[in-house]
């Protein structure tokens, strides 16, 4: 969730019938089921779900645009790590992550796999190199089933740069729960660093998948829970290391599930500069409902930047090309990529007043992969749309 003069590339996730986007319809179904009965971790499911995108969300009821006024999160465009756990073995720890401590294993329910913690556990997200100055981190998490909000204060998730706990002056650690979030280290401490989550956002996350999103640009730190921005800090020391450490706080009675992880580098911040320099602009900030071409509300920041660029440069015309990974049928991928490219144009025209004559669209399916489709990270990188200058 790219051109010569200005080209823009919008990464679009493509879903086949057996796939679901992180936070998509199937995961909503699993969320509902999990509140009814415990997950059977001994059962090895044969059916495997492949997520469309680490940033995609389930269809959202129409909302007042004001809800999204402060939502300016745009996912990084170069995927460094991605997993939805669909390729892991049930009963084992997630192979893409580095295990550190505690009870955590892959479980499956109706073919949807996730990492379940039943105690205090810790793992590392491998970056593959030093964490870049500009990056985004997305964690989708499902906590204990709600009983009148009594679990809102459960400290479900903590993350920090580096393989070892630090919380020193140059290493901030972030703690998230449904009721609030706070920062320890990096010159911050509780309760001064504490921020409250509005009740409407809490309600939307109770018993459902919560989307925790982080955007860092050098020292600038922003964090969001679903559509709500929680932190907007101009200078926060977040350690740049080859790992991001994640702690999950859970118990046998109150398990916590991680349903998706995505870490990406933000290579270019300004669309027109990218178009002039590289002829294209890449973004994974355009989100869709699972298997559909409905543009989600979280897409507003990316759409606003595209529209602003077009309005600022009146002679610019673009071709929106839809691209997918190789999961699913070639014909299905082609059709959906074409529909989603067309949906981007429709959103720009109807929502931002862009002249339709300046935008053409085309779906290319999985015929032009940017990287090999041999890993989940590679497939996540290939789900995209390239907007090419005409």
310-332: burial string, b at 16+ Cβ within 10 Å, e else: beeeeebbbbbbbbbbbbbeeeb
> What are the Cα distances from residue 367, in Å, to 96, 148, 322, 334, 387?
27, 50, 10, 9, 16
Q: What is the 3-state secondary structure (H, E, C) of 277-306?
A: HHCCCEECCCCECCCCCCECHHHHHHHHHH
User: What CATH superfamily is the domain 25-54+79-265?
Assistant: Exo-inulinase; domain 1 (2.60.120.560)
- CA 226 vs. chain centroid, Å, equals 10
Q: Please state, as a whole number, how many other Cβ atoms lie within 10 Å of the Cβ of residue 199.
A: 11
Q: What is the pLDDT of residue 339?
A: 93
Q: What is the pLDDT of residue 71?
A: 86
Q: Environment class of residue 16 by beta-carbon count within 10 Å: exposed (0-12), middle (13-18) or buried (19+)?
A: middle
Q: How do strand 359-363 and strand 195-196 relate by DSSP bridges? A: unpaired
CB 113 within 8 A of CB 49: yes
Chain length of the chain? 390
Q: Give the residue from 363, 386, 366, 364 showing the smallest Cα distance to 378.
A: 366
CATH T-level fold of 269-389: 60s Ribosomal Protein L30; Chain: A; (3.30.1330)
**What is the side-by-side order of every strand in the sheet holding 121-126?**
98-101, 121-126, 243-248, 157-161, 173-176, 180-184, 195-196
Which pair of structure tokens corresponds to residue 335? 């059709």
Q: Please state, as a whole number, how many other Cβ atoms lie within 10 Å of the Cβ of residue 215.
A: 24
CB 51 within 8 A of CB 327: no
Every domain of the chain and the residues it spans: 25-54+79-265, 269-389
* Nearest-angstrom CA–CA distance, 124 and 129: 13
Which pair of structure tokens corresponds to residue 100? 């550190």
Phi and psi at 347, nearest 5°, equal: -65, -40
Long-range contacts of 162-165 (CB under 8 A, 24+ apart): 162/239, 162/241, 162/243, 162/244, 162/245, 163/124, 163/241, 163/242, 163/243, 163/245, 164/245, 165/245
Q: What is the pLDDT of residue 274?
A: 72
Q: What is the pLDDT of residue 346?
A: 93
CB 385 within 8 A of CB 321: yes
Q: What is the pLDDT of residue 286?
A: 84
CB 262 within 8 A of CB 75: yes
Handedness of CA 162, 220, 383, 296 (dihedral sign): positive
The position carrying tokens 């090895």 is 44
Digits of tens for pLDDT over the chain (390 positions)? 333 333 333 333 333 333 333 444 444 444 444 444 444 433 333 333 333 333 333 333 345 556 676 788 988 888 999 999 999 999 999 999 999 999 999 999 778 899 999 999 999 999 999 999 999 999 999 988 776 677 788 899 999 999 999 999 999 999 999 999 999 999 999 999 999 999 999 999 998 999 999 999 999 999 999 989 999 999 999 999 999 999 999 999 999 999 999 999 987 657 777 777 777 777 778 877 767 888 888 888 888 888 988 998 888 888 888 888 888 899 999 998 999 999 999 999 999 999 999 998 999 889 989 899 988 888 888 888 787 877
Q: What is the pLDDT of residue 93?
A: 97
Q: What is the pLDDT of residue 66?
A: 60
* Nearest-angstrom CA–CA distance, 305 and 294: 19
Q: Please state, as a whole number, how many other Cβ atoms lie within 10 Å of the Cβ of residue 364.
A: 18
Q: What is the pLDDT of residue 269?
A: 59
CB 296 within 8 A of CB 56: yes
Q: What is the pLDDT of residue 151?
A: 77
Which pair of structure tokens corresponds to residue 55? 């940033």
Cα atoms found within 13 Å of the Cα of residue 163, Cβ hemisphere only: 10
């Amino acid at each position: 969730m790219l051109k010569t003069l200005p080209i823009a590339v919008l990464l679009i996730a493509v879903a086949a019938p057996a796939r679901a986007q992180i936070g998509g319809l199937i995961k909503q179904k699993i969320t509902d089921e999990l509140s009814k009965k415990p997950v059977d971790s001994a059962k090895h499911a044969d059916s495997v779900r492949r997520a469309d995108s680490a940033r995609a969300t389930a269809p959202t009821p129409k909302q007042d645009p004001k809800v999204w006024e402060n939502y300016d999160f745009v996912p990084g465009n170069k995927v460094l790590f991605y997993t939805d756990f669909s390729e892991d073995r049930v009963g084992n720890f997630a192979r893409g992550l580095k295990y550190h401590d505690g009870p955590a294993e892959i479980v499956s329910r109706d073919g949807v796999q996730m990492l379940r913690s039943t105690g205090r556990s810790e793992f590392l997200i491998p970056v593959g190199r030093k964490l870049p100055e500009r990056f985004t981190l997305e964690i989708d998490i499902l906590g204990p089933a709600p009983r009148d909000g009594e679990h809102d204060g459960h400290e479900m998730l903590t993350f920090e740069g580096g393989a070892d706990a630090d919380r020193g002056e140059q290493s901030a650690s972030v703690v998230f729960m449904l009721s609030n979030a706070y920062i320890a280290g990096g010159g911050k401490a509780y309760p001064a660093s504490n921020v409250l989550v509005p009740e409407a956002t809490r309600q939307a996350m109770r018993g459902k998948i919560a989307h925790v999103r982080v955007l860092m640009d050098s020292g600038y730190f922003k964090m969001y829970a679903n559509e709500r921005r929680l932190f907007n800090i101009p200078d926060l020391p977040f350690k740049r290391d080859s790992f991001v450490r994640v702690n999950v706080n859970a118990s046998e009675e109150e398990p916590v599930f991680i349903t998706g992880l995505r870490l990406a580098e933000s290579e270019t911040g300004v669309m027109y500069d990218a178009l002039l320099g590289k002829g294209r602009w890449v973004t994974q900030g355009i989100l869709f409902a699972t298997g559909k071409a409905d543009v989600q509300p979280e897409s507003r920041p990316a759409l606003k930047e595209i529209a602003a660029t077009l309005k600022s440069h009146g002679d610019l015309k673009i071709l929106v090309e839809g691209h997918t990974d190789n999961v699913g049928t070639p014909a299905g991928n082609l059709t959906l990529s074409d529909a989603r490219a067309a949906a981007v144009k429709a959103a720009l025209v109807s929502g931002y007043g862009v002249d339709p004559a300046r935008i053409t669209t085309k779906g290319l399916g999985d015929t032009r992969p940017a990287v090999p489709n041999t890993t989940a990270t590679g497939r996540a990188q290939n789900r995209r749309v390239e907007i090419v200058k005409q």
